Chain A
Amino acid sequence: MASTYTLIASNVLSSTAATVTFSSIPSTYTDLVLRYSARDNSASNQNNIGFTFNNNTGSTTYSYNYLLGTSTTTNVARSPAGGDTRMLGAFYDGNNATANTFGSGEIYIPNYTGTTKKPVSVFGVSENNTTTNFSAVIGIVAELADITSAVSSIELFPNNTASFVSGSSFYLYGISKS
């Protein structure tokens, strides 16, 4: 039987990178799963990944609502009115986090070749043995990409001017329903 859960591509960084891109994604799968382990060089304990599809950075293309646990509080919010230029919410560790610590998470994209708008699920965490509120985060996010064509590329970048550091890893899998 053909494999249901197939590694399409991977990128393990050997140097800093401002953007990680998976391009020329084949249309032969049903869903996509992107898993990451990441850290960046921002002056913070945690950060979150921004990501887009098909290099589409239109100002109203994406929307999201998220629920965070931030050590001592919960935090909820929604994308700006009308939408945003990217999806957010996949948390990981920044440069001020405990050394040698990477946050991790998963981005699930169902029916990525379909002709309807794309719902996306994100679960991301940063944990670095801190008691400071909002220095470690567990986040769940519901996203929507107002894109009715197939997803053929995914662009990931830190949600500020930082870069992912060496050792950050990103794996893209395809899931087949038959």
Chain B
Amino acid sequence: MASTYEPIATTTLGSAASSITFSSISSAYTDLRIVLTAAGSASEQVYIQFNGDTGTNYSQTYLQGNGGTAESLRQTSVAYIFAGYMADSAYGSSMRGLTTINIFSYAGSTNKTTLSEGNNDTNGQGLVSRHVGLWRNTSAITSVKLYPSTGNFTTGTTATLYGILKA
């Protein structure tokens, strides 16, 4: 039986890096999923871009809570999808946040929708969030760049890309 949920690639940083990119992504799957455990040197926000597109072709709506306040927020015509939260390394080198990103029908001919979650708790700080994102481009996704809103991913940050097959 063909595997339905296949690991495509994985990256674990041996040193700090400004981004992690998965490129040359096969069009053979139906959906993509990325699991990122990360810490940032200067920020907690994880951004993504597709196919090297740095234009203001992205938007998102998200729901988040920080332990004291619940918010629903929106960004339109920006240069990234805000996918979720990670730990800020200022709270300890062993801290990690978890961001998972689902990209539906990534090889199809319609605009691309993402559903992602951010999970960051550093015992007194942090946020939990759910995001829906849109890339206004009908091309198949062949590369995904993940990066912090500012600064670098720290050493030990791990990202794994999975392909999901519908048949």
Interface residues of A (CB under 8 A from B): 1, 3-5, 30-31, 60, 63-67, 74-79, 81-83, 108, 110-111, 115-121, 123, 140-144, 146, 148, 175-178
* A4-B6, A66-B65, A178-B7 as given contacts; A119 in contact with B119, CB under 8 Å: yes
Residue contact B5 to A5, C-beta cutoff 8 Å: yes
Q: Give chain B residues whose Cβ lies under 8 Å from the Cβ of A74.
A: 65, 70
A83 x B123 contact (CB < 8 A): yes
A31 to B117, CA, bound (A): 16
* Chain B window 102-134, contacts with chain A (Cβ cutoff 8 Å), 1 for yes, 0 for no: 000000000000000111111110111110000
Inside 8 A of B128's CB, which chain A residues have their CB? 65-67, 140-142
User: Interface residues of B, CB < 8 Å — how many?
Assistant: 42
Partner pick for B7 among A60, A79, A115, A177, CB 8 A cutoff: A177
CA distance A116 to B7 in the complex (A): 22
- When distances are taken between beta carbons in the complex, the residues of chain B under 8 Å from A60 are 123
Contact A76 to B100, CB < 8 A, known contacts A65-B128, A110-B35, A177-B160: no
Q: Decide yes or no: A30 and B120 within 8 Å by CB, A119-B37, A140-B128 being known contacts.
A: no
Cα separation A78 to B118 with both chains bound (whole Å) = 16
B contact patch SS? strand
Q: Please state if B119 and A111 are interface contacts (CB–CB under 8 Å).
A: no
CA–CA, A45 to B100, complex, Å?
30
Interface of chain A: mostly helix, strand, loop or mixed:
strand
How distant is the Cα of A20 from the Cα of B3 in the complex, in angstroms? 30
Q: Which of B23-31, B73-81, B91-99, B137-145 contacts A (4 or more CB under 8 A)?
A: B91-99
- Whether the pair B119, A76 counts as a contact (CB closer than 8 A) is no
List B contacts of A31 (CB < 8 A): 35
Contacts beyond the supplied A77-B68, A78-B68: 15 A-B pairs with Cβ under 8 Å: A1-B3, A1-B6, A4-B7, A76-B66, A108-B98, A116-B94, A119-B97, A121-B98, A121-B117, A140-B129, A142-B118, A143-B121, A144-B122, A144-B123, A177-B7
Contact B127–A142 (Cβ < 8 Å): yes
Q: How far is the CA of A177 from the CA of B162 in the complex (A)?
A: 8
Kindly identify which residue among B4, B119, B124, B130 contacts A81, using a CB–CB cutoff of 8 Å: B124
Given A108-B98, A110-B98, A119-B96, A144–B3 Cβ distance below 8 Å? no
Beta-carbon contact of A117 and B100 below 8 Å = no
Contacting residues, chain A, for B68 (C-beta < 8 A): 76-78
Q: Contact: B7 with A78, CB < 8 Å?
A: no
Q: Which residue of B lies closest to A146 (CB)?
A: B123
A116-B156 in contact given A1-B3, A110-B35 (Cβ < 8 Å): yes
Cβ-closest 5 pairs across A and B:
A67-B65, A78-B67, A142-B119, A63-B123, A142-B128
Q: Nearest Cβ distance between residue B20 and chain A, in whole angstroms?
A: 14
Q: Is the CB of A65 within 8 A of B67?
A: yes
Does B10 touch A at the CB level, under 8 Å?
yes
Most buried by A among B5, B35, B98: B98
B70 A75 Cβ-Cβ under 8 A: yes
